[in-house]
Amino acid sequence: MNKKDMGSENMQDKTILTGIQPSGVITLGNYIGAVKQMVRLQDVVKKSYLFVADMHAITVPQDPKELHENIRSLIALYIACGIDPKKNVIFLQSDNPYHASVSWLLECTTPFGELSRMTQFKDKSSKNVNFSAGLFTYPVLMAADILIYDADYVPVGIDQKQHVELARNIAERFNKKFGETFKMPEPYISDSGTKIMDLLDPTKKMSKSSTNPRSVIKILDTKEEIEKKIMGATTDSEMKIKYDEKNKPGISNLMNIVISLTDETIPSLEEKFEGKNYGEFKRYVADVVVEELGKIQKRYYELLGSNELDQILEEAAKETRAIALQKFNEMKVKMGLYK
Ligand code: AMP
Ligand code: TRP
C-alpha cells in the first residue's frame, strides 16, 4: 500500500512494525522521508513496534566496537527525533531470543529456491564470495520479526518490499499447512513522501552512501557543518526563489526542506523571498535546519548520557519476549513439537 492511500483508511485498529539497521548515520533525507512519517503514524495506530535490526546487521561483516556504538546511538537518535517510547515499543532485536527461534521454524518450511530468488541476496552475495549463510536466511528472520507481532503494515523503503512479500508467502504456507497462525502483513512503502535531494547534485536522492560528504546533511552535523553545506548547495543562475523541480531542482529541494520542517508552504516562501537573493534564502534554510537538528541533538546527547535508554529497552524486551514466546509455542504445538 502506498502512503497516499493510507489517509482514507482507519488506522486505529492497526499494528505497524519496522526494523532499522544500525548503520550509523541518519541523513536529513531519512529524517524527513522516513522518521517523521513514523512520528506521525505513532499517533494514529493501535500499536507500533520499532526495533534495531542488529541481528540483520551481522549478516555482513561488522566491526564489533563500531556496531556496539551504532546500536545504542540509533535508539537514542530515534527517540530524540520524536519516536515516543510511550507510543511505540522500541526494542533491540537481539534482546529477544525468540526471533531466531521462530525464524528457525520458518526456515524449515521455506523452500531453498524461494530464498535464492531474493534480489538483495543475489546482489550482496555476488559482491563477496565469502558471504555468510545468514545472508541467505536473512529474509526468513525478517519474516519472523514481522509475523510474531501480527503486524498489519510494515513501513519500509522500496528495496525491502520483496522481503515483506516473502513474509506473506511464508505466512500463507504455514497457515495452510498447520492452521491459522499468522496475520497477513502488507508493505507500507515509504518513498512516496517528499524526497530530499543531494545538495551538490539535486537531480539525485540525498543518500548516506554519497561519496561527497558536502552533499549530505547528517542528523548529528554541527551548526557550522550544516551552514557550510547549505550555503554551498547547488542552485541556478536565475536568482529567483520559485518552486520548479525541473528547471530549478536545487532551489526546489531547499524549499522542500523548509516546508517539511516548518509551517511554511511553497507560496508563503515564494512570497517571503520575492526580490531577495539566493544568499539570503540559503541563510534562512540553514537557520531552519540548524534549529530543528539542534533540538534533536540536545535530546540525543542527554539520552546517551542517562540510563533512560536502558530502562526503555529493558521494559520493551520483557514485553516483546512474552509476545514472541507465545507465538513460538503456538507454532511448536502445531508442528508437533512439545511446548
Ligand atoms: P535508506 O537510507 O535508503 O536505507 O532508507 C531508509 C528510509 O529513509 C526509507 O524509508 C527511505 O525511503 C527514506 N529515505 C532515504 N533517503 C531519503 C531521501 N533522500 N529523501 C526522503 N526519504 C529518504
Ligand atoms: N531488512 C530491513 C532493512 O535492511 C530491516 C528489517 C529487519 C526490517 N527486519 C525487519 C524492516 C522487519 C521491517 C520489518 O532495512
Assigned domain for 200 exists: no
pLDDT at 5 over 50: no
State whether 317 and 245 are in the same domain. no
pLDDT at 8: 42
24 confidence band (pLDDT: 50, 70, 90): confident
pLDDT at 190 over 70: no
Question: Residue 177 is part of a domain; what is its CATH number?
Answer: 3.40.50.620
State whether 280 and 313 are in the same domain. no
Q: Which of 282, 17, 315 is nearest to 153 (CA)?
A: 17
State whether 34 and 145 are in the same domain. yes
* Distance (Å) from CA 315 to ligand 1 centroid: 29
- Active-site residue among 183, 195, 205, 334? 205
State whether 134 and 153 are in the same domain. yes
Active site residue 124: yes
Q: Pick the atom of ligand 1 nearest to 37's CA.
A: 10
State whether 260 and 150 are in the same domain. no
192 confidence band (pLDDT: 50, 70, 90): low
pLDDT 10s digits, 207-220: 988 889 999 999 99
State whether 125 and 242 are in the same domain. no
**Binding site membership of 240 for ligand 1 (Cβ less than 6 Å):** no
Active site residue 208: yes
Assigned domain for 207 exists: no
Count of beta carbons in the 10 Å neighbourhood of residue 295: 13
Probe residue for ligand 1, chosen from 30, 38, 189, 252 as the CB with the greatest number of ligand atoms within 8 Å: 30
Over its C-alpha atoms, the chain yields an Rg (Å, rounded) of 22
pLDDT 10s digits, 291-317: 999 999 999 999 998 999 999 999 999
Assigned domain for 198 exists: no
Question: Residue 227 is part of a domain; what is its CATH number?
Answer: 1.10.240.10
State whether 287 and 156 are in the same domain. no
C-alpha cell recorded at residue 173: 504456507
Q: Pick the atom of ligand 2 nearest to 141's CA.
A: 9
Q: Which ligand places an atom closest to the C-alpha of 19?
A: 2
**Binding site membership of 22 for ligand 2 (Cβ less than 6 Å):** no
State whether 63 and 107 are in the same domain. yes
pLDDT at 1: 57
Task: Assess contact for 233 and 254: CB atoms under 8 A.
Answer: yes
**Binding site membership of 30 for ligand 1 (Cβ less than 6 Å):** yes
149 confidence band (pLDDT: 50, 70, 90): very high
4 confidence band (pLDDT: 50, 70, 90): very low
pLDDT at 226 over 80: yes
pLDDT at 202 over 80: yes
pLDDT 10s digits, 41-84: 999 999 999 999 999 999 999 999 999 999 999 999 999 999 99
Domain that holds residue 136: 15-193+307-335
* Distance (Å) from CA 156 to ligand 2 centroid: 7
Express as a percent the part of the chain with pLDDT over 70: 96
State whether 288 and 313 are in the same domain. no
Count of beta carbons in the 10 Å neighbourhood of residue 161: 16
- DSSP class of residue 28 equals H
- Active-site residue among 46, 208, 228, 272? 208
259 confidence band (pLDDT: 50, 70, 90): very high
How many Cα atoms sit within 13 Å of 293 on the Cβ side? 26
Q: Which ligand places an atom closest to the C-alpha of 206?
A: 1
State whether 251 and 172 are in the same domain. no
Question: pTM value?
Answer: 0.91
Assigned domain for 239 exists: yes
Q: How far is CA 258 from the centre of its chain?
A: 21
Q: Which amino acid is at 197?
A: M
String of DSSP letters for 183-195: PPPEEEETTSSPP
pLDDT at 6: 54
Question: What is the enclosing helix (H) or strand (E) of 57?
Answer: helix 54-57
**Binding site membership of 313 for ligand 2 (Cβ less than 6 Å):** no
C-alpha cell recorded at residue 296: 534533536
* Distance (Å) from CA 63 to ligand 2 centroid: 20
State whether 43 and 150 are in the same domain. yes
Assigned domain for 203 exists: no
State the Cα–Cα distance between residues 84 and 86, nearest whole angstrom.
5
User: How many angstroms separate the Cα of 91 from the Cα of each of 32, 60, 157, 278?
Assistant: 22, 21, 20, 44
State whether 156 and 133 are in the same domain. yes
- Active-site residue among 47, 124, 161, 223? 124
